[in-house]
Structure formats: C-alpha cells, structure tokens
Structure 1
C-alpha cells in the first residue's frame, strides 16, 4: 500500500473525532476500530415511531445528522459508522449484531470506499462478497426496506477533477454492485450520479465534500427513506416468498422441492460437486404398497461452476414454478432453469453458459439388489406388511437403450390378493384387478446434445454454451416390461414434437393461473412481530405450493412426506441411515392425517387438487360395500381409519394370527371401531359441491359414496328404548377405545344429513330426503359433562381406555361446525376449548382451526403463528416441517395452519359468509379466497380498517356478515 493511503485514513479519523455520545461497541459485542468508528443508537427513541438504520463511512458521517433532523417526526435513526470493507475481518458477524439490535423498517447502506486499495478485495471476490453482505441484510432484517447508496466519486487533492487512480475502481464496483442490487429488488440511491457533475462541491481531500454537497446527499437520502417508511408496512407479494440460497447445500437435507402435481423432485447442488435430484411420482406403488422414489439423477458440469468460493445463487421462483440457478464467475457464468412441465410428465433442465462446457447426466439407482428389510426402524417404512413374513425390496433395472437412459422398477409380485384373502374378501379379489401387480415405474433421460456413455450415463461429444436435458416419468401397469418401455418412448416422442418454448409458456401460465386463483398476504406494523407475521404469510404460500406440487396425481397426497422424502444418511438419530424410500408409517392412508391438506383447499379454490382424494374413495367404494356385507350382513359402506389406497385394512392392523376374533374385527385396538373417515369425507365432499356446484362430479362420485356411508350408519347400530341410535360398540376417535354414543358420530351424522337436505330435489330423491330427516330425529343428544361446576361438551356418553392425544369433543367445532360464530351456545364450545386436555399445536393437532371457528382471535393467531414459525430442524427448505408424529415434510403441520388462517378471515354457514371472525387488529392483510356458490371474496385491511372489499358475484354481498373488531 502506498504511503499516502495511511495518511488519508488518518486524516479521516481526525475529521471524525468530533462525534460524541456513542454507545460503546463492547456492550453490543462489536469489534470496534476505536475512535469515532462505532454504532450510534438514536439519542431520543420514540416507541411510536418506526426505526431507520444508516450504514456507511465518513461520507455518510458528513450528512447523517441532516437526515436525522429531517426524520425527527418520522423515525428513530440509528447509524453505524464503520471503516469495514467487504473483506474485513468480523464484518459479517458485526453486521448481524447491528441488524438484530433493533427492529428496522428502513436501512440505507453503503460499503464501498474503504475497499478500494489494491489487494484488499480481488475483482473476482467483490460480487460474491457483496452477495453475502446483501443476504446477511435480508436474513437478519426481515421486512426492512433496503436502500443501497452508491459510493461517491473520488477527486484529486488539489483540483475538482476525478482521481484517475482510485475513481475507476469506484465506478467499476458501483456497476458490479448495481447488478447485485437490482437482482434483489433493492432501491438504489445513486449518490455517485448526484454529485459526479458537481465536483466543485468536493472538499478536495479526495473523499469528502463541502456542506452543500452533503446537503444534496442528505436531501436525496431523506426522500428515499421517507418513501421506504411509507412502504415498509406494505403487504408482501408472491415474489417476497421466493426461497433464495447463496451457497450450495451439503447433501439432500438441503434439497429444494419442485413439482407439477404428479411428479416431484428434491433438488440440491453440492459445493465442488454436482446438481442432483430425487425424482418421485404420486403412483409409484411397489409390490409391498410402499410409495417409492423413481430414482436419483446427477448432472456433472465441466468446468465445474459449483467450485468452492465461486458465486452461487439458487432461487425457487414461485410465480413460474421453477428453480433458477446461477453459478460461477461473471465471465464463466452458468445458468440453469429446472421445471417440471405442468401439463406433461417430464422434468426439464435448460442450461446456458458464458463459455462452452461439457456435461454428463446419469441415473444413480440404489435398489440395485434384492434385499430384505431387517432393521427394526426401517421396517416401519413398510407399515402394513411389517410384523409378518420377511419383507423384501426388489431391485430396479437400467435397460439397454440407444435413445437415452431408461430405468424401471417392475412389480412381479403383489401383496394385494393375499391382503384381501386375509380379510375374507377373496371373492372380491377374483372379480377385480390387482392394482399393484405388473405396475412399472421409472424414467427416461434424453438430450439432443448428448450421447450414450456407458451404463446409465449420457455425455456431450462437444462443449456447448447451451443445452437441455429431459427426464420423462411414467408409472403404469403393463403386460410386459417392453410394453412399458414402448409407452414411455411414445410419450417422450409426442412431447418432443411440441415446441419446447411454447410448452414452457404454457407451464408458466398454469402457475400464474394457480397463484391468481387465491392468495393471503399478511403484514404488521408492530416491529416486534414483523418476522413472525412474515413467516405466517410466507408459510401459507409455500405450503400451498407444496399442495400444488403433489395434488394432481393418481393418488392423494401422502401426509407423511408427500413425494419429497429424501435419504436420512446424514441424520444421527434413530431415523438416520436410510434411503430416500423411507417414510415413517409407510404407504397406507390414515384419515386423521390425510384429510388435513384437503380442508385447506376449499377456501383456496384449489378444487382440482381435491379430485384425487374423492377418486380414491369412489374407487374403493365397491370393496367397502363388499366388506360391510361380508362382515355385518347389511347395506352401506364403512371406511377404515387406516387403509391401503384400494380400501382395505393393512395386514398388521387387521391381524394375521386372529385367534377367536370375528370376521371383520381388527386385531389393532386403536382403529377397531374407528370409522369416522366416512362421515368426514362426506362433509368435505358436500362442501366441495357447495363451493363448486359441480353436478357431474356430485352425481358420479360424491353422491354414491355419501349415500352408502349414510346407509351404513343407518343400519349398523340398533336403537335404544327411546328410538335413538345406540352407538355401542364404538370409539371416540382413536383416543378412547371404548365409547358409548361418541360425540363425533352424533354431530357428524347430524351435519352430513343436514347438508344433504339442503340439496335441490333434482339431486336427491324423496325417499332419501325422508331417510336423512329420520336419521337426524333418531340421534341422541350431544353429550356433555360438568367439570368444576362448568358444563362442557363430552367425548361420549361413556368412554374409557385413553390411548391417544386427541380432543374428540372438539369435533363439534371442527370439522362438524355444530358450534361457532353466529350459532347458539358458542360459550359452551369456548369453555370446552379452554378446558381441553390436549393443548399443543403442530403436526395433525387442529387446535388452531378450532380457535378460529370460535372467534378466539389471540389463540388462533398464536397457534397459527407457532405452526408457520416452527423450525425445520435438519432441513434447509422452510416448509420441511416434521417429522412431528409422522414424517418430513409433514403435510398436516402446514395445512392445519393454512386452514386456520383462512377461517380467521372467512367462515361459511349455509348462505351466510362471516368476514374476519378471528382476525387480529394489528395484522394487515390482502386476500382473495373462495366461499360457497362459486363466490370469491377479495379484501384489504390496513391498520384495522377495511380499505377494499369486492365480492363476486355481486348478489352475494347480501350474505356477508362483517365481524371485524375495530382497531383501538
């Protein structure tokens, strides 16, 4: 370093020595440079004002006081006067301390001047270091409006001209910085441009300015900050929820989910390694009825843009349903777009590079040999066949093919037939097709720019600047392996005949339509709650995204991991060491869990995502009618709490060594008489019809299922001496294994029958209408009890044998809505809620939803916030919650909070629509959600006041009931 550089820095310190009243940095744990270089909190903090932070060097010191004085009525202003540059020791740790010392609404920052001397920051270091700096701001000042102030010009010491030694570095780095700043949508305060043609205002000590020059900078900065203060409480938008990472991941625990509703991938990039992803499909059912991965794909690039120390950015762009990656230096930048075609069964990778590169794409199967599952923890992933004969995982095959890489898993055996035989349903098995046998699933990797390179690999013959790779996926039942191969080849060729660019446009249009369908954006002006409320808003959007990624397939969403399970090789608990096929509780569907994502879809308007669930129950209706006839000798259909997708108990639940157990009685006591799913799926389906008015689906799918479920409840139990149904033997959910007249059955039948009676005459017959009315009249009264002198709802008339952690009595609130806003005896339900035994939230616990239905504003907000702010523990992506009671990502956890947030805003009861029944007065919101009769409600609340309300169709305005509590 030249001698004059030391003199300059010394002179800066002398100039600044007049600054006083600074809090010692030691109190904050900052690494102080001494003298005036300190953090200065506002001298007169007013808690009613917003908070501003200025970060800068001696140039900022020249105008900060003018800014403070100008904002005295608007904000508290802290400032951090620092000589640190981007390569300074402790910069990032100190920056984090400063950012978290207060809840800032606006931050103006500059970090340019002190890094100019040669060798301090290398050219190829500047952009990644600035990226890291900006990311530190974003992550530690959530919700703050960011303003970047460009570095001011450097002049000669004796004349008003630009310094030709230093200033080129300043302008170059300003230009680089602008690229980074724009990418993050940060406001630019161009101080360089402001004074570059006013060098006569320079102090002519190279770096500093006269009073008039600082006045210009102060005025411009104040203007930007005031605008930022006005915008800082603005509601977030979809792009604010994009997940952005500025470093590669270590392993699959750092994967990012992407899906098209049927096909999903868990994608990650390893530092100094490759791009990898697991690929899944909603109907990749194995011979053991486990939902397996299709496989694992690896993309290797050379030269490797993911080398340690190089810039890296990976972003999930929600609006477009794609993952965008940028890696490498500016001169060798590689960009990768990964998208799963929303309209076709194919994963697409589009790669662009500033320089020619080569690539290898490969499939990495792990089911390479037939193996027995012997580990006592891993066998839980084969739930249903565990506890019986030996369980084997069959191997995959990588096929010889000149048109790409083809790999498959083919079921040459099946548990289906033996499963039905065990349960006395052998006749049904002989008359119907096995849904597992010969099911074949896998993929095909193709690229026009690549050729075969050995077993399971494609490579490029030449280096290229641009290329694409397609990974096609298929799960189907075929007579032979070759038939399946022909199917996937045919599908690939059909897709390849279509314009890739037009497919990409159509793909993005699907996602644009999805996001415009409905939304909830929440914010708050309360500085102490900004991050919490932001996480509520983001969590809602990201969980809805997860629903969309896996909700349009041939099977319903798996509550225990969906299609985004990853390997646990890097976990050190009892779940560690397993491959990506592992999921606790395996392949069956538990209704207690399965239902929860689907309740979140009604008010979101995501009706298309509900269809696979209804289809599964419609397809299983025949076997459930047969089971009812065989076991009980009467009409109707009951559905088990836990069942395979074809509708039967699992072997381990039904019991292999049955002893004296009657036909149809399960060995498993937790679900022996637990048949609630039939009533709740009926109500959900009736709500679906109420929302959509889809008569075709109602007649073909909903009514057949609901009718047979009602028939079962009508015929299965006898009547007491008063002509009332006597539900005995029965259970109160899974929690009480012995119950008489359980509340969920009573309120469930009552609600379902009342909803059926609301249907027009063209949809139900007179005899059905008569049956539904009779059933209502034959129901016992809702059970109650007295606790410490208070009347409360009870789980049943009589109950014992507690074996789980549910509140059965609260089913009167959700899902069956016998009590709530606008209904009688709401205080009875509120007392019961407050006295509930199980108070926790998380996983499948639904207390947040019930609080919303009861209009308990504080409780609903707190429980919903807890769910959306929960830690993802070992995982990097924000919604990889779990395992809780099940597996990661837990699809109950986020969707419970989604439903609660919706019901805090809108509830429906018949034709009535209740607005804001549980909305906190200090939460702002902008939303569009659905209500029955094809109704949409759009509204904005700011500071407790409704600033916008639109209802479509207009006639539904007459049905609105506004319950908003006014802000105090």
Structure 2
C-alpha cells in the first residue's frame, strides 16, 4: 500500500495557534478556553488575569417566562467573573511592551507571560474545572488576590423572575452560587476556587468577614440586600509556583447541591494535581487532532490562511460543544466576556446555530454534535404540543427561535385564537384584548410572538410597534428550520449507518417534521393535482407567500428522506403510500418562469430559483440559492439524476453573478452559505473568492447588525466577530468557511435527498492551491488524498463499517487500479467507480492499469 503522506499533527495544528505580543484592547479578543460544558475567554488588565465562567446549562428562565418582554433582556450561561490580581501597590505586570500570549491548539493550553509573572491555563478535558499554574519571579513579589465576583447585584427581581447570588467559604475555598426562579423554573450554578502550593486566606468585607450569612432574617428580597458582590482568596506573597483550580456545576433540580458538586470538582483536581491533569488533558487534545485533517499551500499564502481558520474552527467547536445537554448559544457560545446579557437574547436561533454544525460530520468528530441533538430531542414532546396548539397540525413544530426546553403550553383559548389569526382564518384587526395582553408579556424574539417589533413606553404603559404585516414576523411562519434539524439527524445516520440511532433518535424527528407539513391546514391539493402551501415566509421575508422556498425546499427534502428511513427500519408501511403520493404530487421549487413568481426572468432566459410565488406583503423580489445548500437538493451529482434541477441552480448562480457585478466578494456575508453552494457546484475560483472575503469580513460595514454599537470591529485578535451585536461573539463565518472548504476538497453527496451518496475528490479545489486532506464521508468511509499542481495523487479509502463505496472517478474516464491490502488489484473503468467493502478494509485508487 502506498502512503498518501505522513502528517506531523503538532506542526500542522500549531500553524493556527494564536500569538500575541500585545495586550488585547477589548475583552472579546481574549484567548478562548473550554471543555464543551464550561468555558471562558482569557484576557488581561494591566494588573490582572481575567475570566468569565460560562456554562452551557445555566438558563435564567425557560419557555414559560412572562418577565422578559423586552428584546435582548432574557439571559443565560454566565456563572461568575474571576480576576487573578497580581498587583497591589507595585508595578503592573501585563503591558504591551513586554507581554507574550500564546494559545496552543494542539494541547488546548493558553500561556501568558508578563513582567515577572507567567501563567498557564487550560479547561480540563475530563472535568468541569480550569487549571491555572502561576509562576511569580518578581524580585519584590506581592500578595495575589483571586477575586470571585457576582455578575449583578446580589438580589435582582424582574417581574416574576428572581436571581439571587450568594458568596460563602468552604475549606479555604471561595464559593459563588446563583439561583434563578420563575414559576416552576429553577436553575442554579456554583463556581468554586481553590489553590495548592501556596498559603491563602478567604476574605469578604461584610460584617462577619464572609464566615457566616448576614441578613438571613429578611423576608423581602432586594430590600436591604447584601452589598458585597465580591470575595477574595488572598495568596501569601512569595516567589515560585502555585496552582489554582476553578470548578463549576449547574442543575435544574432544586434537590441537587451544585455547591457540593463544584467543590467536588475542585477537590478532585487538588487531589489529582495539576501535572497529572495537564498530562491527561494534553493527551485528549492530541488524540482529537488525529481524527482528520486539512493541509493547504499556495504561493500567495491564501491557502494557508484558509487552512488555519479551518483548524481554529475545530478547536472552537471542541471547546464549546462537547459532553453537554445543550449546545452553545450561537451568539457568545461559552466565551461571552461582558456578563450574561447579549444582543438577541438567550434563545437558540437555528439559522445561525446550524452554521456551527454543518462542518462537524466530515471532520469525524461526531461527539461535537451531541449537545445539539440532546437539546432538540429533549424538546420533542413540547414540539408535538406546539404543532397541535399553534397550527392545528400533527407531528412536531420546532420554530426558528426556541428556548432550550421548547415552547410553553398555551391556554386553550389562546391557542385557538392563535390558530385562527396565524392561519389567516380571522382578520388581524379582530385580535381579542385577552390575546393581546397575553402576547404582550412574551419575548418578542420568540418565533411565536415575532410579529411584535420595537417596544417603547407611552405614558408609563409598555407598548409594541408591530412589524405591520399582521401575524407575519421575521420568523413566525418559517417552517424550513425543523427540516434542517431533521436532516442533520439523517446525515448523522448517513455518516455512521447506526440503525439504532436512526430508529431511536432520528426517525421520530424526521417523521415528526414531515407529518407537520402533511397535516398543515394551509397545505392544499389544488385543482391541477399538485400540493401547494400558502401563507408562509422564507428566510425572514416573502411574507404571506405561496410555495415559499423555505417550505418547499423543506418538503422536497424531508419526504424522500422519511420514505428511505421508513424502508430501512421497516416501519409505517401503511403510511408510506400516503407520503409517496404527497411527494409525487408536490409542487416544484419556486422558479422565475412561474407567472406569479416574485422575480420573473425574460422570455427565452433561463429560469432561476426564487424566494416565493407572489404576491407577498413585503414586496421582496430576488433569486434564491437555497437548493444549493439545503438538504442535498442540488450538487454536482444532481446533474446525473435531475439535470433540469441542476441547470436551474447553475442558471441561478449566473444570474446572481450579474447582481454582484461578477465580484464574488460581495456575496461574502458572515451568515452566507454561498461558498458552500459554489463548492457543491464545482466552482473553484468563485468559492475561493467568497471564502477569503468571508474570513476577512470585507462586508462588515454594511452587514453587521450593530456595527457602531460594537466599536466597528470587523474581527478581533482571536479571529472572532461580534457581527450580531454586543457580547454576541460568533464563529458563523468560520463554520461557513469550514463547510465550504470540506466540500471543495471532498464531497459525499447524493444526487438528491435519500438517494445513494457518491464521493468526489477535489471537486472545487482552486487551481493555484496544493491540498491534502483526510475527511469522513457518508457510509463511514475515511478518505485521504492530495493534489499537487492540479494532479490528484492516489486516493486512500478506509471502510470503517463496510458497505458499497461509490466514487466519482477523480481522473475522468481513465482506468483506475483498486488496490486492497493483501488482495489482488482490480481495474475499474468509467466515471463512477463502485466496489464493495467490509469493515476494516483499506483501499487505494491509483490512475492507470497495471499490466
């Protein structure tokens, strides 16, 4: 067997490290650390090292809240501020002229060296604790104060919601506990700090020095509340080294003692010792990187630039989405440094969040997807009820913007009126006073209530300005989200072929999403025999459209997948003909050659994809590239199976190119999936232009939501952005670029949803790039190959679970040798190479026949 190339993973991964020879001027530019459940940026003031401890399972409120009816005010995730303050009267230690900061991605460790002080920090891969080693080499060492600080006043009451924070001491450790309550919702968190290797004393400046509670006699919250919001662990001055451990815990169960659990995390770390913890931590990260890789080179350095962002993306996903019950919020992740309020609030927005996950499965790191699946599966029952109450449908309804635990169960009279209003059976101006009062208490970002817009007070009364389109808000009538989620479940099966997963986890979501559409009251079979959907929206526009792209792309995706899944599992035999009939008679995706399309192409001009069949209330009119990035509806493989659909996508790309004056950088918005579309369609040079411009944030001025409010920063030293607003740190563009890059180098897509996948090697690799990759494909195939000066070398395929492998010939129609270790070489011909495999088989494909 021929080796494709040996990889020094440390050297490769380290190319993406962060190196600063300056302080960061904004906390958002700090060094990111996390273990998937808890995380923080690490940044400095002149005298201190600073953290904000965030957790994926800390939510101040849930779906039943009535207390946060102003935009951006619901909050979550943050558990404590922590400062390690090195200076009292003496000289500052972290200054621009002397500081050196380094984040090692390969080891998952941050190090900062200042004047006489060196710090090494990591978020333990195996427990919920930060380990921090401090080396003080100052000639005149000072006392070091570890400050544990509340995020808000000790007691805050917001309407029906309360947030109570308490500081305490336990065995020479300092403790901060938060408790959030509203109705039946309860969530608590705790952060504990302990040290070893140096004597320290806990101090707090209340009446009893923190050694016993003050004011426990009070009956009323807020009135006469504690005024101390900080506790210190004061470290004895001295030269040398000592270790700090910051542990955390959280729970939704009032009977669970989160303080005891956080103390246990710290005590375990103290007993284990930092050296052993660090050794185990490094071993985890080192093994993580060996799962897959991408290595790029170009003379102008642009390939390396894309590569380092790809590597960094994987580091951030492993730091923010692993081993948790919930995924990180798209805006802030586990890295927000400015408290727990952020633009767009604490709910999950799928069209943002999915950009983080689209590149996960080809990397082979399936574990990073589990928090996402855990959350959506966990809200299944809520989504069944929501489909019935809100829309009079069956199956499940997962809205675009949703709370971590789903949706509130509505009073039946409210649900009945909601159906009448939202399905347009009742005029909007006949909304009852009871419905309006009920709605006024709800969060305006939540999809259910998103027809509410900007709020204001008029003569002391809280009022909303509506968007002006009746029940249609940005996300109220968007239904593609739940299919996007369901398709991720399906893709997980495609990569793993895990039938237990398909049966237990994926099939309920897939079937639920399809059944929602089948029973949706405004899906109707018209006189021409086709099923059409009315009164929906698409990607926050085309209000009240017919056959909007969002809904039609969703249905054209979910029904063939459901039919395939039911066949594999031998389930729902009686329903399969019903689903097949609907799918066979489903109206086509909206195109510009429809007489009522929102955008019409001229007679004789190629038809293009459009957003909806009109008229629409907002008068929007544009092409739509969604078939090229959603549900595997259109890719290079589609040309062999559905040539008309493929050609329409090609025509849409050409039409769009005229709209941007043939400058693909103008399509490079942070959330844009255009790079993925171009890679899927084999367009190498446009793909490169979009991805490079996306990483450079060239359109920040005109696309960032709150550009002025966030200081007009395109991206920070750590390559993160605040495109969505204050405290809304984001890696959306990194996820988009990563998924596009994977598709440019290696695709494993079917010609359509639910069909057999085909592997393609270097379908959109730019001509001036040399590239090498090892990525995962549908069917559990791990594929490794390289291209140099436009020539593809051998292709190595490892079959991890067996099955039929289909590869589009990387050398066109040339003969190909299929070599299996220990077996005879077979010559394959044609554009499609098909061969059977067993688990553990390794193959090589080499151009040319062996005589």
Normalised to the residue count of structure 1, the TM-score between the two structures is 0.65
1:438 is matched with which residue: 186, 195, 214? Answer: 186
Q: 1:462 to 1:354 in 2, by over 3 A?
A: closer
Kept after mapping to 1: 8 A contact 2:54/2:335: yes
The answer to whether 1:488 aligns with 2:262 is: yes
Secondary structure in structure 1 of the residue aligned to 2:735:
helix
- After superposition, the C-alpha distances for 1:702-753 in whole angstroms (9 at most, x for unaligned) are 1111111111111112322244322112223322111112233333223222
Give the Å deviation of 1:885. Answer: 7.3
- After superposition, the C-alpha distances for 1:33-84 in whole angstroms (9 at most, x for unaligned) are xxxxxxxxxxxxxxxxxxxxxxxxxxxxxxxxxxxxxxxxxxxxxxxxxxxx
Partner of 2:627: 812
The answer to whether 1:796 aligns with 2:600 is: no
The answer to whether 1:719 aligns with 2:525 is: yes
CA distance, structure 2, for counterparts of residue 469 and residue 726 of structure 1: 62
CA distance, structure 2, for counterparts of residue 707 and residue 766 of structure 1: 13
Kept after mapping to 2: 8 A contact 1:522/1:924: yes
Kept after mapping to 1: 8 A contact 2:190/2:249: yes
Matches within 5 A, 1:456-855: 456-461=231-236, 463-479=238-254, 483-498=257-272, 500-525=274-299, 529-530=300-301, 532-552=302-322, 553-567=324-338, 580-648=339-407, 660-661=430-431, 666=449, 668=451, 669=472, 670-716=474-520, 717-759=523-565, 761-762=568-569, 764-786=571-593, 787-788=601-602, 789-802=605-618, 809-823=624-638, 824-825=643-644, 826-836=646-656, 840-855=667-682
Give the Å deviation of 1:686. Answer: 0.3
Partner of 2:819: none
Secondary structure in structure 1 of the residue aligned to 2:669:
coil
Kept after mapping to 1: 8 A contact 2:542/2:548: no
Partner of 2:60: 286
Q: Give unmatched runs, 5+ long, in structure 2.
A: 1-8, 62-67, 69-73, 205-230, 422-427, 436-446, 452-471, 594-600, 661-665, 699-711, 751-755, 814-851
Higher helix share: 1
CA distance, structure 2, for counterparts of residue 865 and residue 935 of structure 1: 29
Give the Å deviation of 1:464. Answer: 4.6
Give the Å deviation of 1:883. Answer: 1.4
Give the Å deviation of 1:290. Answer: 1.5
Kept after mapping to 2: 8 A contact 1:725/1:779: yes
CA distance, structure 2, for counterparts of residue 845 and residue 446 of structure 1: 45
CA distance, structure 1, for counterparts of residue 156 and residue 449 of structure 2: 30
Give the Å deviation of 1:768. Answer: 4.5
Give the Å deviation of 1:860. Answer: 0.9
Secondary structure in structure 1 of the residue aligned to 2:303:
helix
The answer to whether 1:343 aligns with 2:150 is: no
Q: Give unmatched runs, 5+ long, in structure 1.
A: 1-233, 373-388, 415-433, 568-579
- After superposition, the C-alpha distances for 1:195-228 in whole angstroms (9 at most, x for unaligned) are xxxxxxxxxxxxxxxxxxxxxxxxxxxxxxxxxx
The count of aligned residue pairs is 672
Secondary structure in structure 2 of the residue aligned to 1:351:
strand
Give the Å deviation of 1:901. Answer: 0.8
Q: 1:556 to 1:785 in 2, by over 3 A?
A: same
Secondary structure in structure 2 of the residue aligned to 1:597:
helix
The answer to whether 1:863 aligns with 2:690 is: yes
Partner of 1:318: 105
CA distance, structure 2, for counterparts of residue 327 and residue 643 of structure 1: 44
1:934 is matched with which residue: 759, 780, 794? Answer: 780
2:746 is matched with which residue: 901, 906, 909? Answer: 906
Q: 1:249 to 1:693 in 2, by over 3 A?
A: same
The answer to whether 1:960 aligns with 2:807 is: yes
Secondary structure in structure 2 of the residue aligned to 1:615:
helix
Q: 1:265 to 1:488 in 2, by over 3 A?
A: same
CA distance, structure 2, for counterparts of residue 466 and residue 757 of structure 1: 63
Q: 1:946 to 1:602 in 2, by over 3 A?
A: same
1:403 is matched with which residue: 172, 175, 182? Answer: 172
The answer to whether 1:891 aligns with 2:731 is: yes
CA distance, structure 2, for counterparts of residue 821 and residue 237 of structure 1: 31
Give the Å deviation of 1:948. Answer: 4.6
Kept after mapping to 1: 8 A contact 2:482/2:513: yes
Tell which deviates more after alignment, 359-368 or 761-770.
Answer: 761-770
CA distance, structure 2, for counterparts of residue 352 and residue 342 of structure 1: 23
CA distance, structure 1, for counterparts of residue 394 and residue 177 of structure 2: 43
CA distance, structure 2, for counterparts of residue 235 and residue 924 of structure 1: 20
1:451 is matched with which residue: 175, 194, 200? Answer: 200
Kept after mapping to 2: 8 A contact 1:360/1:459: yes
Q: 1:886 to 1:680 in 2, by over 3 A?
A: farther
Give the Å deviation of 1:266. Answer: 0.9
Secondary structure in structure 2 of the residue aligned to 1:790:
coil
Normalised to the residue count of structure 2, the TM-score between the two structures is 0.73
Give the Å deviation of 1:353. Answer: 4.4
The answer to whether 1:364 aligns with 2:176 is: no
Higher RCO (C-alpha 8 Å, min separation 6): 2
Give the Å deviation of 1:953. Answer: 1.8
Give the Å deviation of 1:493. Answer: 3.0
**How big is the alpha-carbon RMSD for the aligned residues of Structure 1 and Structure 2?**
3.3
Q: 1:896 to 1:804 in 2, by over 3 A?
A: farther
Q: 1:371 to 1:634 in 2, by over 3 A?
A: closer
CA distance, structure 2, for counterparts of residue 778 and residue 738 of structure 1: 22
